[in-house]
Amino acid sequence: MTQQPDPSDPNVPPGAPQELGDIVRSLRTASGMSLNALAGAADVSSGLLSQIERGNGNPSYSTLIKLAQALGVGVGEFFGGQDPRPKQVDLVRASARRRLLLSEHDLSYELLTPSLNGQLGMIRAEIGAGWSNESAPFRHDGEECVIVVAGSLVVVVGGHRHELLVGDTITYDASIPHWYANRTAEPAVLIGAMTPPSF
């Protein structure tokens, strides 16, 4: 069952579920897929997908990964807000970061670059205690570098497990399936950079 976002939560912008639903519907329509076809390709129920598209709830991060893979797009397509017009210099205030719209309150992804349309993409992620995306690994074009700035994080790339502590970095070919896990009782925070942006 999809967890409904708490409207009093300051991390959930007004209209976020409907905005995400509109993004999913637009991507599905552009791909020429029916609702049932996308649900089948993503291995999610058509009822859940219909709820998401109607703005009646936010999916989990694992569900977003499955939807992105079925649609042939990066998870970054689901960041809320409009892409700004490119400029020579773009300042992103901490209060204006675009966020990935998720149901999990213990998981937060923020875009540090203005968009994912430049030559470099950067994100900040806060990963709650016990969270893992082992069941839906990432896989996308490009090269990725991650630094842990708080807590610790397990990063598995192509079946090889790496335990990162504060200050540790890992760089890898992002086309190799990779996933993160926070095996501790405290949140972990990471900064990630991707080139080209393909999160």
The domain locations on the chain are 16-78, 119-195
**What stretch of H or E contains 162?**
strand 160-164
**Is pLDDT above 60 for 12?**
no
- Per the CB < 8 A criterion, the answer to whether 130 and 198 are in contact is no
Tens of pLDDT, residues 137-192: 988 889 999 999 999 999 999 999 999 999 999 999 999 999 999 999 999 999 99
Domain spanning 16-78 has what CATH number? 1.10.260.40
The pair phi, psi for residue 180, each rounded to 5°, is -120, 150
Q: For residues 27 and 18, which has the higher predicted lDDT (pLDDT)?
A: 27
Separation of alpha carbons 51 and 94, rounded Å? 31
Q: What is the mean pLDDT of residues 90-105?
A: 82
Q: What is the pTM of this model?
A: 0.70
**Is pLDDT above 90 for 125?**
yes
- Rg, C-alpha atoms of the chain: 16
Residues 6+ apart with CB under 8 A from 168: 147, 148
**Is pLDDT above 50 for 1?**
no
Domain spanning 119-195 has what CATH number? 2.60.120.10
Q: Provide the pLDDT for residue 10.
A: 43
Q: Provide the pLDDT for residue 77.
A: 80
Domains 16-78 and 119-195 share a fold: no
The pair phi, psi for residue 143, each rounded to 5°, is -120, 145
